[in-house]
Structure 1
Amino acid sequence: MELELRHARIVSTIAETGSISRAAGWLNLPQPSLTTQLRRIEKMLGGDLFVRSRAGVVPTSLGNVLIPMMTRLVEQADEVRGAAATYAESTLRFGNTEWTPPTLLGAIRDAVPSADVETETLAPAAAVEAIRRGSLTVAMIACSKTVTPELVQQPELDSTVIVQEPILLAVSMRHSLAGRPFVETAQLADLDWVRYSGNHWFHEVERHVLAQLGQGELKALHYVDGYQEAMSWVKDANAVALTPPTGATREVKLVPIREPHSIEMMLVWRRGAVAKDTLHRLVEAVRRYHYKYVRTLSGYWRWIKEYPVVNEPGRFLPVPSPAA
């Protein structure tokens, strides 16, 4: 028996998950089968790579030497596949949780000028599934730590955080809360609400946030299918809605809620599907775009700077340097 790439992937996945049962799920293998394969690999390498316990696994002294080498082997193989895929595929298919503005499309095209760029708007779960199938190259999805993290915790996927955004209250410019530094949780029940329908990805995030704030039964004037519709109701009906800053329009005012919540905008791709240098350019282009965009939002930077009681230092990430 000779060491093969699949053996290295088994070992690196077990090390990454810290559990044979969890690694079996990631690799889509029965746990007994994975255990048998690991024993064969360890026999071939001349010793145990992991110490097993009820809490999981930890590397042995031999594992501490060999596991990093096997992990690098897997990473290099993925890079080879990514470079080959990029060379062979002339179209980059970019998925987005919300619609992709022409300015963002232009930034992506500038980052990967050799590829034709196509964009598609998909809910987070649908975008991740499209990446797994290969019908999308990369996707930017909104990921709440309490709602959708499992979407990207799959062995064939990689991801990186583009920006971490606070969830704020959108009000009209004439609303009584528009001039407030923040809104107290107790005030939320007395407001006229616009909420997100079950068809929109933000529905689950909104539902969780309101439940955490003790406002899970709030009634709504109207249920919307997207940010733009929500902001229109906020502006014209003097209603309120939850939104991250990038979901707001310039016609509304953003007011922080005393108890902070946030979402992460993550770029997700399938391992080995994108060349490393292409991925680097793409990530930096999307981060730069978001950095420039949030700078145009009235009050956002002032709120980040002036309200440390609400905004814990370092909690939210506009991400690139100001020079970007």
Structure 2
Amino acid sequence: MRHLRALCAIADTGSVRKAARQLGVTQPSLTTQLGRIERAIGGQLFTRERTGSRPTPLGRSVLCRARPIVAEMTALVTEAKDSVMLAGGARFRIGSTGNRAVAGWLRRLHARLPDTDITIRIDVSPNTLLQMVAANQLDVAFVHEVAGCPLHIPDGVRQRVLVQREPQFVALPATHPAAAKEQVALTDLAGERWMVDPSVDGEWAGLRRVFAAEGLNPRVVHGDYLTGADLVAAGEVVSPCQPTSRPRPGMAIRPLLGDPLTVRLLLASREVASPEAETNLDAVFADLEGSYREAAWTSAAYRQWLMFHDSPLLRSHAA
């Protein structure tokens, strides 16, 4: 089955590199595995081209046999897992992009499911996590979708919307003149260097759209947001950030005027086959919702934004 899944992944993604990422293995190991499969079959299954990997006639023949087998095995495993999903002693695998709600989500899950082995996978790429849900490597994934940059939702993966439109704020040095404002216009930061992580799906494309709409072309530094936070505090860059982010010494977090950059927050899972599994997913979503409200409430800047916009998000929390 491992070999058949590898062949299907290469065909579906059109690339050994992309297939390796989807499968959670290194590219060299997948290349070696493909070589072993081809030697066992006695022929070349894919042609390697500059644009990617394409099945040969032999490869297409093998894939026609492999896909039904993989689909049947996936269905068998899914149905078996659904029958015990979140039951006592079961395993529950969650994934998430970075978000302050995750810690509270885990705390709630552990409290409600003390006999369940709960594991977590954090990844900057929402699309990677969605592929892992589709491949039955994760049970659920909490991901974000940048406005204007839709995610690739695999077949068989469903979505529940946690927040339809979450505004993205900006982290800037506490000494910056704009830090004295309640809301910061993009034009206030036009002359600053922006730190952006290009490995986060849609992040750079979404911000580029926002800059273009404002007629701006600021300097951009590519890097990870952990390093970016240090550079913001040091006065070197500004950076987009989640509204639930907490400032560190030397940093201020402010809403962007007009909320030009937003994301949609989703909980993704596979389709379930039983009412019991559906009820369990409802509880998982409720745990995440409660944790997100808690994270939003404890963020002063976000709480103020929500109250100003009379958002229904925090009403149950305030009650």
2:272 is matched by which residue type in structure 1?
Answer: G
- The answer on 1:249 being equivalent to 2:247 is yes
| % identical equivalent positions | 18
User: Counterpart of 2:177 in 1: which secondary structure?
Assistant: coil
Indicate conservation of the 8 Å contact 1:183/1:255, yes or no. Answer: yes
1:146-225 matches, cutoff 5 A: 146-149=148-151, 151-152=152-153, 154-163=154-163, 164-196=165-197, 198-201=198-201, 202-215=203-216, 217-220=217-220, 222-225=221-224
1:1-324 matches, cutoff 5 A: 83-86=82-85, 90-98=90-98, 102-122=103-123, 123-149=125-151, 151-152=152-153, 154-163=154-163, 164-196=165-197, 198-201=198-201, 202-215=203-216, 217-220=217-220, 222-226=221-225, 228-251=226-249, 252-260=251-259, 261-272=261-272, 275-306=277-308, 314=311, 318=313, 321-322=316-317
The 1:318–1:254 alpha-carbon spacing in structure 2 relative to 1, beyond 3 Å, is farther
The 1:287–1:97 alpha-carbon spacing in structure 2 relative to 1, beyond 3 Å, is same
2:140 is matched by which residue type in structure 1?
Answer: V
Indicate conservation of the 8 Å contact 1:233/1:239, yes or no. Answer: yes
The 1:211–1:109 alpha-carbon spacing in structure 2 relative to 1, beyond 3 Å, is farther
Indicate conservation of the 8 Å contact 1:138/1:268, yes or no. Answer: yes
Indicate conservation of the 8 Å contact 1:250/1:298, yes or no. Answer: no
Indicate conservation of the 8 Å contact 1:185/1:259, yes or no. Answer: no
Indicate conservation of the 8 Å contact 2:94/2:121, yes or no. Answer: yes
State the partner residue of 1:18: none
Q: Quote the Cα distance in structure 1 between the aligned partners of 2:296 and 2:189.
A: 25
User: Counterpart of 2:234 in 1: which secondary structure?
Assistant: helix
Q: Quote the Cα distance in structure 2 between the aligned partners of 1:125 and 1:142.
A: 10
User: Counterpart of 2:92 in 1: which secondary structure?
Assistant: strand
Deviation at 1:130, TM superposition (A): 0.5
The 1:299–1:210 alpha-carbon spacing in structure 2 relative to 1, beyond 3 Å, is same
Unaligned runs of 5+ in 1: 1-78
Report the TM-score when normalising by structure 2. Answer: 0.64
Deviation at 1:144, TM superposition (A): 2.2
Q: Quote the Cα distance in structure 1 between the aligned partners of 2:214 and 2:81.
A: 44
Indicate conservation of the 8 Å contact 2:90/2:116, yes or no. Answer: yes
Please, what is the CA RMSD of the aligned residues?
2.9
Indicate conservation of the 8 Å contact 2:84/2:90, yes or no. Answer: no
The 1:232–1:302 alpha-carbon spacing in structure 2 relative to 1, beyond 3 Å, is same
Indicate conservation of the 8 Å contact 2:297/2:314, yes or no. Answer: no
Indicate conservation of the 8 Å contact 2:191/2:218, yes or no. Answer: no
1:177 is matched by which residue type in structure 2?
Answer: A
Aligned residues: 233
Deviation at 1:244, TM superposition (A): 1.9
The 1:91–1:193 alpha-carbon spacing in structure 2 relative to 1, beyond 3 Å, is same
Per-residue deviation, residues 170-219 of structure 1 (Å, max 9, x unmatched): 112222111112223333322232222x223333333333333333x321
Indicate conservation of the 8 Å contact 1:143/1:265, yes or no. Answer: yes
